[in-house]
Amino acid sequence: MITVIAENQTASPIPLANLGAPNGEIPASGSVTLSDFNAFSEIQDDEQLASLVDSDDVLLNIGGGTLSKADSAALLTPVTPDDIPTGGGPDDRIEVYDSAGGQNFTTSAIVVDFDVERVNTVPASFTLNAGGSVTVNFSGVVIASFITSFGGGNNRATTRTALFLNGAEVPGTRSWGYHRNNASNEDTGGGFAEFAVASGDVIDVRAVRESGGVTMFTLANGSRLRIERLS
């Protein structure tokens, strides 16, 4: 239950007809306990109490602390459907992964094809595109992290991966892999970064072979990208 106390800020008694005020008033320079409520919405329809707060005659006390005029007025203001955001907010997140693998690459970079959406808590915030990139549908700050896994033939080679934002590499997100002269070479690397985004920005992960003469390829179920909205 919620206890709401109305405190009289004047030196004269103030009439309060509803809400269970004893004798229908708030004593001069005193206070009344209006009663116990299950929710604040039960006092938000009382226009008389709202008017008294607006005129600086009454402040509300919740849990032993007197609220400011602004906070008292806010407590008495009902929440309407228009006040509830239809988009997302912090904790929106998407996680995608590459289920198929088999993307070949050498010295021309590829966009890792994340083809399966494992999690998308608010679809209005993120869109997984064909080809593996993700479009951000809001302006704010995100943290993005990725893991990639590659295989290669029987030859030495070095691979490099990184996060990209609108086609530009995100600084500090590079990851390298080294493949020895062995037919069963496989490696995994990853990176992450926190950065600002604008609605319509595109995030992806790109891989390229830096050295060596072998064709590299993505491994099935070995690469994933996770993006979380921070603000």
Residue 71: phi and psi, rounded to 5, are -70, -35
Does some domain include residue 56? Answer: yes
Of the candidates 171, 150, 170, 174, the one whose C-alpha atom is nearest the C-alpha of residue 160 is 174
Beta bridge partners of 149: 188
- Looking at the fold, whether 123 and 164 belong to one and the same domain comes out as yes
Of the candidates 2, 12, 3, 16, the one whose C-alpha atom is nearest the C-alpha of residue 53 is 16
Does some domain include residue 70? Answer: yes
Instruction: Give the integer Cα–Cα distance in Å for 206 and 227.
Output: 16
Tokens standing for residue 172: 């500090």
Query: pTM higher than 0.75, yes or no?
Result: no
Does some domain include residue 87? Answer: no
- Looking at the fold, whether 140 and 70 belong to one and the same domain comes out as no
Domain ends where: 82, 112, 129?
82
Tokens standing for residue 9: 């800020």
Of the candidates 178, 196, 205, 10, the one whose C-alpha atom is nearest the C-alpha of residue 103 is 205
Structural element, H or E, at residue 70: helix 69-75
Overall number of domains in the chain: 2
SS3 155: coil
User: Which amino acid, residue 128?
Assistant: L
- Looking at the fold, whether 104 and 192 belong to one and the same domain comes out as yes
SS3 63: coil
**Tell me, what's the pLDDT at 44?**
65
Domain ends where: 82, 108, 143?
82
Chunked in runs of 10, what are the mean pLDDT values of the chain (231 residues)? 76 80 81 62 72 86 76 69 54 93 96 95 93 95 96 86 96 90 78 94 96 92 96 87
- Looking at the fold, whether 49 and 128 belong to one and the same domain comes out as no
Domain ends where: 60, 82, 104?
82
**Tell me, what's the pLDDT at 89?**
63
Residue 169: phi and psi, rounded to 5, are -65, 135
Check which CATH number belongs to the domain holding 132 and give it.
2.60.120.40
Of the candidates 191, 217, 195, the one whose C-alpha atom is nearest the C-alpha of residue 205 is 191
For tokens 């509300």, what's the residue? Answer: 60
- Looking at the fold, whether 39 and 144 belong to one and the same domain comes out as no
pLDDT digits (tens, 9 = 90+) for 191-210: 999 999 999 999 999 999 99
**Tell me, what's the pLDDT at 102?**
95
3-state helix, strand, coil in the chain (%, to 5): 10, 45, 45
Question: Cα angle vertex 120, ends 117, 118, to 5°?
Answer: 30
- Looking at the fold, whether 146 and 204 belong to one and the same domain comes out as yes
Mean pLDDT for the chain overall = 85
Domain boundaries, position 40? 2-82
**Tell me, what's the pLDDT at 1?**
46
